[in-house]
Amino acid sequence: MKNNLLLLAVTLLLLGLSACRKDNTDTATGISGTAATDRDPVTPFKATYTTNPQVVSMIGGVITLSITGEGKATHLGKSTWYADSWVDTNQFPFLQTGDMNFTAANGDQLFGNFSGIAIPDANGKINFQGTYDITSGTGKFEGATGSGNYSGWALGNAGHLGFDGTLNNP
């Protein structure tokens, strides 16, 4: 009888603790789950940015771009995005590569690169898609890596960019 009461008390205690666990829904994107800082091995990563691509140079059919963006991302919240991008127009579809960084409002950063294709339409809009890798980070993202897909469009100096993938914590 004493053992049954002890077992019941421990069970109720464990159930109470799990019921008190906070739901960590990211209000920026509505994704539910634990934050990257909780050091779960793998966490979802989603981001959307309004971008402002600027042509830096065009040499031999390779366009060099400087791209800034503002938006929201899981684990970063309201944040900025920056990339140096190269688009090789000597082949079709155009090959797009680049180096990028995401910066949270508190200054913590994620660094990575991307590679994909870009296809212009008849109206001058460039549609692009590919894969990305997160290679490192600072602050709460120190040691983080990740990967996923990106897609978006650009028309003149305006664009939209989305990321969908995962972050891997050490």
CA distance 4 to 50: 60
**Would you give per-residue pLDDT tens digits along the chain (170 residues)?**
444 433 333 333 333 433 343 444 444 444 333 344 455 789 999 999 999 999 999 999 999 999 999 999 999 999 999 999 999 999 999 999 999 999 999 999 999 999 999 999 999 999 999 999 999 999 999 999 999 999 999 999 999 999 999 999 86
Q: What are phi and psi of 3, to 5 degrees?
A: -65, -40
Alpha-carbon distance 137 to 127, whole Å? 28
Contact 84, 96 (CB under 8 A): no
80's tokens:
């900025």
Token readout for 63 is 């366009």
pLDDT value of residue 169: 83
- Cβ pair 132, 112 in contact under 8 A: yes
Residue 61 to residues 26, 54, 64, 109: CA-CA distances in angstroms?
A: 42, 16, 10, 32
**pLDDT value at residue 39:** 59
Q: Which CATH class is domain 23-168?
A: mainly beta
pLDDT for residue 35: 44
**Which residues neighbour 42 within 8 Å (Cβ) at sequence distance 6 or greater?**
166, 167, 168, 169
Q: Residue 115 and residue 169: Cα distance in Å, rounded?
A: 23
